[in-house]
Amino acid sequence: MSQPRVSVIMSMRNGASTVGAAVRSVLRQTLTDFELIVIDNGSSDLGGAIVARFDDARVRLIREESTTVFAVRLNQAVGLARGEFIARMDADDICFPERLSCQVDRLREDPQLDLVGCGAVVFRSGGELVGEMPVGLDHEEIAARPFVGFSIPHPTWCGRASWFRNNPYNTELEFAEDQDLLLRSFRHSRLGGIDRVLLAYRQDRLTLKKLLPGRATFMGSAWRNGIATGEVLPALAGIANHAAKGALDLATLALGLGRQMQSMRLKPVSPLTAQGWRELQDELLSSSPSLTRNAG
């Protein structure tokens, strides 16, 4: 087979209720020269069977009997990718039709760029829109506070395949593998963003099960990186920032204010994004029972 322009990589575990819409949104891209690599990470449901039913040679399903950490499967998918570019996506998210085209165009226009993100709208499984994730537009903005974090949502990443191969995920981490990778690589990389919503990110609620381990993991990454680079004081400041935010997360969720906190972290949904979401729902709804019609 000829080399596709883009390899979309996706790791899935028990995604039967959402993966159909995710795959379908990739197949409806305006850029058609791609492959979609789906690694079934030891699922116990019918997610793999749902992916296998797509009659499209561009969809490559790899079934794994065992379950391992997300970073292992992402590195595995990178190793299998044949495209000039690699785009990330989760099995419960949805791509807007022009996502791959816009990101590839940006990477080709600027040979200095290694990785490009984009805006993402957060939605709940019922279809309700919650808000838009902020994204940094240039390297300086994205990496302005590296020990606090990078404003480039992981499922929106699209970059050069060579960059992904030269900068593998840390397979010892169960959480915050994306922020850890950027912290280790931003000094020798060039990051960018597109000021346009090109992905819908499913997030029904914020949970301490993910928030606190994620913060703790990144605090460890910040400390290790600070020691390795001699930036101990900035690392300590970043760690203190995450510790304070973790305490706030704990108090807010304990008070039952998770939805309010979720909305406060996001920008209001623009009319253009809301219209694009309605159109996308209409296209995907008929064959995706997990996506209820709701304009948000």
Q: Which of 197, 188, 187 is nearest to 153 (CA)?
A: 197
Tell me if 23 is assigned to some domain. yes
What are all long-range contacts of 231-236, with beta carbons under 8 Å and residues at least 24 apart?
A: 231/147, 234/146, 234/147, 235/147
The boundaries of the domain holding residue 200 are: 6-285
Q: Residue for token digits 């004081």?
A: 233
**Pick the residue with more confidence: 99 or 134?**
99
Question: For residue 32, what is the domain's CATH number?
Answer: 3.90.550.10
The letter for the amino acid at 74 is L
Instruction: Report how far Cα 122 is from the mean position of its chain's Cα atoms.
Output: 12
Where does the pLDDT of residue 257 fall: very low under 50, low under 70, confident under 90, or very high at 90 and above? confident
Q: Establish if 1 belongs to a structural domain.
A: no
Select from 216, 155, 231, 217 the least CA-distant residue to 186: 231
* Dihedral in degrees, nearest 10, Cα atoms 65, 72, 38, 114: -170
Please report whether residue 178 resides in a domain: yes
Whole-prediction pTM:
0.94
Per-residue pLDDT, 178? 98
- Does 116 or 3 have the greater pLDDT score? 116
Q: How confident is the model at residue 296 (pLDDT cuts 50, 70, 90)?
A: very low
The predicted-structure confidence for 155-171, as pLDDT tens digits, reads as follows: 999 999 999 999 999 99
Query: How high is the mean pLDDT of the chain?
Result: 93
Question: What region does 160 belong to: left with phi over 0, alpha with psi -120 to 50, or beta?
Answer: beta
Is residue 264 over pLDDT 90? no
Q: Which of 158-167, 185-194, 240-249, 282-291 has the lowest mean pLDDT?
A: 282-291
Rounded Cα gap, residues 112 and 128, in angstroms: 38
% of the chain at pLDDT higher than 70: 96
* Lowest model confidence (mean pLDDT) among 178-187, 224-233, 234-243, 244-253: 244-253
Point out which residues pair with 117 in neighbouring strands: 193
Residue 161: predicted pLDDT: 98
pLDDT digits (tens, 9 = 90+) for 41-69: 999 999 999 999 999 999 999 999 999 99
Look at residue 231 and tell me whether its pLDDT is greater than 60: yes
The verdict on residue 293 lying in a domain is no
3-state secondary structure labels for all residues of the chain: CCCCCEEEEEEECCCCCCHHHHHHHHHCCCCCCEEEEEEEECCCCCHHHHHHCCCCCCEEEEEECCCCCHHHHHHHHHHHCCCCEEEECCCCCEECCCHHHHHHHHHHHCCCCCEEEEEEEEECCCCCEEEEECCCCCHHHHCCCCCCCCCCCHHHCEEEHHHHHHCCCCCCCCCCHHHHHHHHHHHHCCEEEEEEEEEEEECCCCCHHHHHHHHHHHHHHHHHHHHHHCCHHHHHHHHHHHHHHHHHHHHHHHCCCHHHHHHHCCECCCHHHHHHHHHHHHHHHCCCCCCCCCCC
* pLDDT band at 286; cut points 50, 70, 90: low
76-80, 172-176, 253-257: range with lowest mean pLDDT: 253-257
Q: What is the mean pLDDT of residues 226-249?
A: 96
User: Comparing C-alpha atoms, which of 19, 189, 3 is closest to residue 89?
Assistant: 19
Domain contains 246: yes
Mean pLDDT is lowest, of 169-183, 189-203, 248-262, for 248-262
Q: Label residue 295 by pLDDT band (50, 70, 90).
A: very low
Res. 293 pLDDT band, cuts 50 70 90: very low
Identify the pLDDT of residue 254. 87
**Does 48 map to a domain?**
yes
Q: What is the C-alpha separation between 31 and 29, in angstroms, rounded? A: 5
Is 221 part of a structural domain of the chain? yes
Residue 292 lies in a domain: no
- Could you give the number of structural domains in the chain? 1
CA 164 distance to own-chain centroid: 14
